[in-house]
Amino acid sequence: MKLQTNLLKTHTPAFILIFFILFFIPVFYFWADDISLKDKQMGLLTCLIVGLALSVIDLFLQKRVEKIYLTVLFLLSLAPNLIVWSYLYISNIYMKRDMYWVIFNSHYSESREYFEQFIPWQIIIVAGIYIAIGIFLIAKAHTQQSLSIKQRPFLFAVPVLLVITSISFQYLSQTIPTFEFYKSYFLFLQEHRNFLQEQANRDRIKAEVRSALSDSIRHVFVIAIGESETICHMSIYGYPRATTPYMDSLRSELDVYTDVVTPDTHTYGALQKVLTFASHQHPEYYASKPSIMDLFNAAGYETYWISTQPLLDKWGASYGVIAAQADHTYDLSVVKQHDEIVIPTLHKILTDSIQRDKVVFIHLLGNHHSYKSRYPGSFDHFNAKRDNDVEDLGFREDHMKKTIDEYDNSVLYGDYVWYSILSELKLLNCSSYFLFFSDHGEEIYETRNVSGHLMENVYPCQAQIPFILWRSEHYKAEIPGLVIDPSRSYNTEDAIYSISTLSGLEYKDYNPSLSLFSEEYKEPQRRIVGKEDYEMILRKVLR
């Protein structure tokens, strides 16, 4: 009995560390709005069982081996626990696998800006405390006695099997961030390898496309994709602040679509669908059918992609691979300047000696966090504290209003960039169009204490995006048959069909019922944003 007491006593710091790691998240379950009471209870039970299993394993470890064991457990837990706790603290959402994938698919500068923009000082303090407790408990571990595996093989094997089981079953592993984080990372790498293979298969896809436009007229089309821009903060869509003065002044020249939503609230998920035939119903079309770039290349266009976002981060983001299919790619992200840096490159493209029809895709950093990094000081215009032009709504504190100011300033600057792009295109005086839309929207403390674009519990402003078309007079004369109805409901997962209609592309998979500009267009019965029905998203603000 004395031996057992001494054995447990010498392993006490190890036991405390193990349960500290496992219960660091469950004690904050009361913050989570997205998990049921049953799931919380299962999470607590799973953590208890795994904690006991890891503690029993520790009983078999000797001094140096135990130190290594505890250090490995602590280091493995560090990033998952702090990330999940931070997200839970900020958004009241418990992170799941698809949210981890967003992190894995983000490049360094994006992650750093998110940290600077959204991580409050409380999280820094918690991280410091977490690290300090872990180091202290590891240092206090001083095993003097241990069990023998040879003498008690069954007692050692059972907890090992319990840990393996908890990792293997998704319902169990998702309750323990350390398990789910690295399991998700492994699956992400596996999926990335599959993605590269699918991309290699895509390169073998031959698109047969015919251009229905006149060979005797020069065509130049520009498609600009914004980032994190919502109609909720654009004056051209009714926002009270004058955030889009250039668009407002040209309102009579524009077709401003008022009921367009994104298929996803994150860039890579949205653009996978926007730039290909993939949809929520047929995600496999991403790899088995051509991309929009394939279609333009096959139709004989000179294709260009200009980006102030990295074309290819270390994971080979899906839209970057599609961008790389263009005849000419310009990755301006390395310059680290504001979006207007695209203008000289666009001017060079539009005025070079190449006489073929051209299509230019421009992917902007737009309104991506951190918002204050998206515009020069000359556009630091809005100030709620000075002008008292942002409602309190009962929960908006001063720092929230400051974030709204910064976002609105980024929209104001984006309006200037938009106008600069359009001005370059107008100088050509040819058959042209300029289509602008955003990858997804953004929520900036609209009706709740949330800022950003979450993948879970999506609210309207995260889904609602601008979709604005300008057409030259030459274009209107050449293609008078387009149906222009800005009130039509639309999801940009079908954008490839609408762009095809605008550009006169004809091919086997073209479906006019999915084209916003076709007489045969049929409004979708359901519009899915991420994993939610848009009609259900709208109801959230009516509660």
Q: Tens digit of pLDDT for each residue in 273-323? A: 999 999 999 998 887 889 999 999 999 999 999 999 877 554 445 677 788
Q: 54: closest CA among 39, 35, 37, 76? A: 76
- Asked if 372 and 460 sit in the same domain, the reply is yes
Helix (H) or strand (E) holding 305: strand 302-307
Side-by-side strand order, sheet with 254-257: 254-257, 467-471, 431-438, 219-226, 358-363, 302-307, 328-331
CA 538 to chain CA mean position, Å: 21
Please answer whether residues 496 and 274 qualify as being in contact, where contact means their C-beta atoms are separated by less than 8 angstroms.
yes
Residue 206 vs residue 341, higher pLDDT: 341
Q: Does some domain include residue 377?
A: yes
Q: How many folded domains does the chain comprise?
A: 2
Distance CA 388, CA 207 (A): 56
- Asked if 353 and 250 sit in the same domain, the reply is yes
- Asked if 129 and 63 sit in the same domain, the reply is yes
- Asked if 269 and 231 sit in the same domain, the reply is yes
Question: What mean pLDDT comes out for the span 340-361?
Answer: 95
Please answer whether residues 222 and 362 qualify as being in contact, where contact means their C-beta atoms are separated by less than 8 angstroms.
yes
pLDDT attached to residue 317: 53
225: phi then psi, degrees, rounded to nearest 5: -110, 115
Task: Give the C-alpha distances (Å, rounded to integers) separating 353 from 83, 329, 395.
Answer: 51, 17, 57
- Asked if 228 and 164 sit in the same domain, the reply is no
Q: Does some domain include residue 206?
A: no
Q: Does some domain include residue 282?
A: yes
- Asked if 138 and 232 sit in the same domain, the reply is no
- Asked if 527 and 480 sit in the same domain, the reply is yes
- Asked if 136 and 249 sit in the same domain, the reply is no
- Asked if 181 and 267 sit in the same domain, the reply is no
In this structure, what CATH number is given to the domain that contains residue 537?
3.40.720.10
Give strand pairing partners of 261: 464, 491
pLDDT attached to residue 314: 41
Q: Does some domain include residue 114?
A: yes
- Asked if 368 and 514 sit in the same domain, the reply is yes
Q: Does some domain include residue 55?
A: yes
305: phi then psi, degrees, rounded to nearest 5: -135, 120
Q: Does some domain include residue 52?
A: yes
Domain boundary among 138, 159, 194: 194
Question: What mean pLDDT comes out for the span 127-152?
Answer: 89
- Proportion of the chain above pLDDT 90, given as a percent: 62
Question: What mean pLDDT comes out for the span 116-138?
Answer: 84
Distance CA 432, CA 5 (A): 83
pLDDT attached to residue 533: 95
Look up residue 520 and give its DSSP letter. T
Please answer whether residues 386 and 364 qualify as being in contact, where contact means their C-beta atoms are separated by less than 8 angstroms.
no
Strand segments, DSSP code E, in 311-422 are: 328-331, 358-363
367: containing domain:
220-542
Q: Does some domain include residue 203?
A: no
Q: Does some domain include residue 212?
A: no
- Asked if 110 and 252 sit in the same domain, the reply is no
- Asked if 369 and 472 sit in the same domain, the reply is yes
Distance CA 361, CA 492 (A): 16
Task: Decide if pLDDT at 375 tops 80.
Answer: yes
What are the tokens at 231? 């109609």
Question: What mean pLDDT comes out for the span 327-332?
Answer: 91
